[in-house]
Amino acid sequence: MAKRYALDDLSSLDKKIDARAHDLFKEKKGHAGLQVTRVFRRKSSKGVGEKNCFVKNLDVCDSSQVEGMRENNQDDMQLYTIRQDRSWTTLNISRDLFQCFTAAHGIMAPFWKHVFTFGRKSEENEFQFPQFCRRRRTDSGVKVHEYAYMLRRVELNGRAHTEDDNPWSIRQTAVYHRLSAPKTQSLKSTFLLIAPSENVEDQFGRCLSQSNAEDGMALSPWNVHRILVADSLRGWMDYMAYLEKGLKEQSDHIVLASVGDDKVNLSPLTDFVINFDNRQQLKIIEDQVLDLQVILPGMLDAVEQLLREFSSFQTEEDGELNAIVGEFEEYVREVKMLVERSKALNDMARSTARLLSDLLSYEEAVSLKKLSIETQIESKSMCHLAEKSTKDAAAVKILTVITLIYLPTTIVANFFSTQFVQTTDGHMNVAPNVWLLAAIAVPLTLLTILLWWTWVHFTEVKPMFNPLQPGTVTLQRQHSFRSMVSSKKSRQKQGDLEMGMSFQVPPMLPVRGSPTSTWNSQASTVKIG
């Protein structure tokens, strides 16, 4: 860790490294944690001038090799690479080797912010990615420039098997560049690339092969940045076209839907089925568009900062740097255009989401309106039934009053028609055993009243649901008294039919609107809905 930056809070940084190290570093067995590509010059075989040479992908496995590479550094450029098998897994390097490398090369502490964006994680956090970092200092009379930045790129992942799978994945590369400018020598550079793409490594290989020729041009540090930035920009246009296509498909389904009245279905959409799944799919696209508005401004900042740094080294004689500066100006315009298009995509996503929400609200409003009309119709039917029940109750009341009027006469007539009373020559004779009539009638009357009270007290009316007719509910009297009497016998049966074959009855009768019912002494049937 570099100790010369007094403003860096190294103690807090060490605590954060300790907390993240388990999910950040993991050495892969049988593979080197670091690989270095050396670019240097050697005398030409013809004895005239120098020839560009390189050694590609040397393994660096321990701290002694790191120290040896730093102490014997006569190379024009050393390009170190740390690889990652998958974008959401650990880096293929141990913590000790990585910290040894950062201490040996005096890498600035803010570079750890870029390192923390890697490692094992369950979800992406776009706001975790830091901005472009730059430090300038003088080390033993040599001016040293340090740069650190993140580049995000989008690639086809090759994992899409259905239409719902996203064929694109967003990946990142962390770049560190240490540039020293000795007075008597050419520029010397040390690069550290974390998780570069295969395309970047292929381009490095082609540039190094071309520089190995007699008249070839050496791979400059400016060209390394150019290759990295160009690779990160190449897929965004296609990715944004993919998102735009998804938004247009959602929008076309909504715009082309015919809104009408279907008598069978309550939905006002007669040729289009829409539900909350459509809103979830649209939300996923909205989140992807919002990610662009976080990623692209960060890339724009990195490209602009690199352009500013290159311009400070620009001279009229350096034709390669002048060409790269002109290319970076085009990159700045391209990223600005991508930022504007991401804003247009965001507006399109918001308008589509608003239209979909309005359509869902309209469908719900129409359904509620039709439901209220049906409720009014059922209410009228209930009023009619209530009126009819009132008339029936009045008729029963009249019959009851008539019965009470004629009951005493009926009792007297029945009494005199028995064998206990005899009329002879105008004289009425009462039998001596007439008391038997009262002795038998009074207990029977009391027993009848007792049975009636018991039946009413222990009997409930419960709804019975018929599984073959889901819309019909039968109000059936439950013979609780009879069941209570035979409860001992029922407890002896383990496989009772009521436990094994009956259907669960909910505690409340969910009758929507006003049910239509027909009552009798045993059961009543109610049609729901």
User: pLDDT for 290-329, tens place per residue?
Assistant: 899 889 999 999 999 999 999 988 887 678 889 999 999 9
DSSP output for 412-446: HHHHHTSTTEEEETTEEEE-GGGHHHHHHHHHHHH
Whether 122 and 87 have beta carbons less than 8 Å apart is answered as no
In a domain, 319, yes or no: no
In a domain, 115, yes or no: yes
Domain with 222 in it: 1-232
Number of domains in the chain: 1
Close Cβ partners of 503 (under 8 Å, ≥ 6 residues apart): 465, 467
Residue 461's pLDDT is 61
- Amino acid, single-letter form, for residue 149: Y
In a domain, 264, yes or no: no
Q: Kindly tell me the number of DSSP H helices and DSSP E strands found in the chain.
A: 13, 13
In a domain, 373, yes or no: no
Q: CA geometry: angle at 114 spanning 344 and 26, to 5°? A: 125
Spans of the chain below 50 pLDDT: 1-2, 5, 264-267, 270, 481, 494-524, 526-529
Residue 478's pLDDT is 57
In a domain, 2, yes or no: yes
Residue 415's pLDDT is 78
Whether 175 and 193 have beta carbons less than 8 Å apart is answered as yes
Which pair of structure tokens corresponds to residue 376? 């009014």
Q: CA-CA distance, 273 to 267, in Å (whole number)? A: 9
Q: CA geometry: angle at 27 spanning 26 and 33, to 5°? A: 125
In a domain, 198, yes or no: yes
Residue 163's pLDDT is 63
Which pair of structure tokens corresponds to residue 361? 């609200």
In a domain, 377, yes or no: no
Report yes or no on whether pTM surpasses 0.75: no
Residue 231's pLDDT is 95
In a domain, 130, yes or no: yes
